[in-house]
Structure 1
Amino acid sequence: MQNTITSFQNPKIKFLNQLKEKSRVRKKEGLFVIEGQRELSLALEGGYTITQLYYCSSIIPSETVDTILSQLQYQVLIYEITTEIYQKLSYRTTTEGIIAVATFKNLDIQDLVLPSKNPLILVAEAPEKPGNIGALLRTADAAQLDAVLIANPKTDVYNPNIIRSSIGCLFTTNLAVGSSSEIIDFLKKQHIIIYGAALRDAVDYHIQDYTQPTAIVVGTEATGLSNVFLTSTDQNIKIPMSGVIDSMNVSVAAGILVFEAKRQRDFI
């Protein structure tokens, strides 16, 4: 059934705005907001369940909405909203006219299934900035990593800024979340070599062998890896730098390390 909403004071619009703005509401309800056609398409590809769909007919043709709905095998609540409401809800300056509400997936590290017997995994410990998390997910997608693990996240992964900065890669990445100890236990049980991006007892990254089951762990730019990880890595690795500082953006560093591992594996 389709309804038209014309007031921002409508309870459904207020709830939608709360989902967008407040992590505690997302966690309590197990729901989050997806904005944009590409992101919605990737969420469907990633097996996410859509519960509600809001669209602005002055921005997105109804035929496009029908095409999206044709991909679903279940009923979805559909609401048409005005341009004014959409602009207040939208994060983007260039809008696409569609917003969806979707349900959380189970991202517990204990339930992660690795698709490869020789996995290449990226681990991010305590990432804070949604933009960095999004960039890490885009790197993982570009490298077709087997999984991304987030240890002790400081923000929930369904933060709209993470979805936006990942350009929807959040939905198609094999992702899991847990504490540092839980992730370390998982990696060791799977006999995965742990390489930590850290200066303590580190060797240059390019002289290591990443052709075996491998996890590359990066920490925050401010504090690096915790002692929990530093005492659990098989080898710490560093990127030689010629400038006056000894650190770089975490997503840039992760990209360098991940693609060196990919380069080595391409020659196996």
Structure 2
Amino acid sequence: MNKQISSTNNTYIRQLVQLKDKSRERKKTGLFLIEGEREISLAIKGGYEIETILFYSELFSMAQLNKLTSTPINTIAVSKEVYQKLAYRDTTEGVLAVAKSKAHNVNALAFKTETPLILVAEAPEKPGNIGALLRTADAANVDAVIIANPKTDLYNPNIIRSSVGCVFTKHIALGNTTEVIQFLKAKNIRIYCAALQASVHYHTQDFTKPTAIIVGTEATGLSEEWLNNSNQNIIIPMQGEIDSMNVSVAAGILIFEAKRQRDFK
């Protein structure tokens, strides 16, 4: 029989609310919340350890719960009020999981190919942009995503939501810019910076070798450290009145050009 919790004042539920709302609490405990059946399934597939699953039975049945995982996991049936307290979305599915976070150390990254394709984003702040970058990376099946100088907690509920669970599907690493550059150079991975200065059109470059495509924020672009260590700066030629586009759109154009050159292997 599942444990049941009906009160929003329950100590455990109050702790989970802190996990949802506060990055500091997620970092301190090493735990975070996942909302939604697809997202939980992707996390399990991605090797995340699920500590507890909470569900509201009028929205998520026992049959669905049993299909979600093949291994025994602690489950808790919660009331509508408790579920609404924990849920991040306005429209929801009635199931949440408490999961253990991963380390994401850039120096622990390993590749299955000798010609990896990597997307690097420097200092992205907006969870929606990070989520969109992760969806782009998943769609292109890049070998890894590296976030340099991260400004936002990777397990922010809005990143999980906006990435549609792609935060769990790719190899993701975090590190400061110096660490990331040192890692790429040690692996003999060419660095292509999306930048206006000293740039050539992106489609003139050979992306079939070990490649890292680096994108910065729309507001400030890439730091001087990246530009000083770039093998080649690349630019997407603009034909309108403005000289920038959304970072996830730009990343998509550049990554899929690399995939085209590699015949989408």
Structure 2 unmatched runs, 5+:
none
- Counterpart CA distance in 1 for 2:146 and 2:129 is 14
Which residue of 1 is the match for residue 62 of structure 2?
A: 62
Is 1:11 matched up with 2:11? yes
- Counterpart CA distance in 2 for 1:101 and 1:267 is 36
- Counterpart CA distance in 1 for 2:11 and 2:52 is 14
- Counterpart CA distance in 1 for 2:136 and 2:142 is 9
Which residue of 1 is the match for residue 162 of structure 2?
A: 165
SS at match of 1:154: coil
Offset of residue 117 of structure 1: 0.7
SS at match of 1:137: helix
Which residue of 1 is the match for residue 226 of structure 2?
A: 229
2:195 equivalent among 183, 195, 198: 198
SS at match of 1:266: coil
TM-score (norm 2): 0.97
2:210 equivalent among 208, 213, 216: 213
- Counterpart CA distance in 1 for 2:106 and 2:83 is 36
Offset of residue 2 of structure 1: 2.5
Q: Which amino acid aligns with 1:4?
A: Q
Which residue of 1 is the match for residue 40 of structure 2?
A: 40
Which residue of 2 is the match for residue 22 of structure 1?
A: 22
Per-residue CA distance 1:51-89 (angstroms, 9 max, x = gap): 1111000100111112224x22xx533211011221222
1:90/1:267 Cα in 2 relative to 1: closer, same or farther (>3 Å)? Answer: closer
SS at match of 2:257: helix
1:100 equivalent among 97, 114, 135: 97
Is 1:117 matched up with 2:117? no
Q: Which amino acid aligns with 2:6?
A: T
| Count of matched residue pairs | 265
Q: Which amino acid aligns with 1:51?
A: E
Per-residue CA distance 1:201-230 (angstroms, 9 max, x = gap): 011111111011100000000000001111
- Counterpart CA distance in 2 for 1:222 and 1:176 is 23
SS at match of 1:223: coil
1:88/1:198 Cα in 2 relative to 1: closer, same or farther (>3 Å)? Answer: same
- Counterpart CA distance in 2 for 1:144 and 1:88 is 35
- Counterpart CA distance in 2 for 1:89 and 1:98 is 10
- Counterpart CA distance in 2 for 1:212 and 1:157 is 29
- Counterpart CA distance in 2 for 1:181 and 1:104 is 24
- Counterpart CA distance in 2 for 1:13 and 1:181 is 40
Which residue of 2 is the match for residue 132 of structure 1?
A: 129
Which residue of 2 is the match for residue 143 of structure 1?
A: 140
Deviating runs (4+, > 6 A) in structure 1? Answer: none
- Counterpart CA distance in 2 for 1:162 and 1:262 is 25
SS at match of 2:262: helix
- Counterpart CA distance in 1 for 2:197 and 2:5 is 57
- Counterpart CA distance in 1 for 2:180 and 2:200 is 23
- Counterpart CA distance in 2 for 1:52 and 1:85 is 15
Offset of residue 115 of structure 1: 1.9
Q: Which amino acid aligns with 1:48?
A: Y
Which residue of 2 is the match for residue 49 of structure 1?
A: 49
Offset of residue 94 of structure 1: 2.1
1:243 equivalent among 236, 240, 254: 240
SS at match of 2:112: coil
Offset of residue 267 of structure 1: 7.8
Which residue of 2 is the match for residue 175 of structure 1?
A: 172
Name the stretch that deviates more: 240-249 or 37-46.
240-249
RMSD between aligned residues: 1.2
1:205/1:52 Cα in 2 relative to 1: closer, same or farther (>3 Å)? Answer: same
Per-residue CA distance 1:70-120 (angstroms, 9 max, x = gap): x22xx5332110112212221222211100010011200011111211000
- Counterpart CA distance in 2 for 1:95 and 1:216 is 35
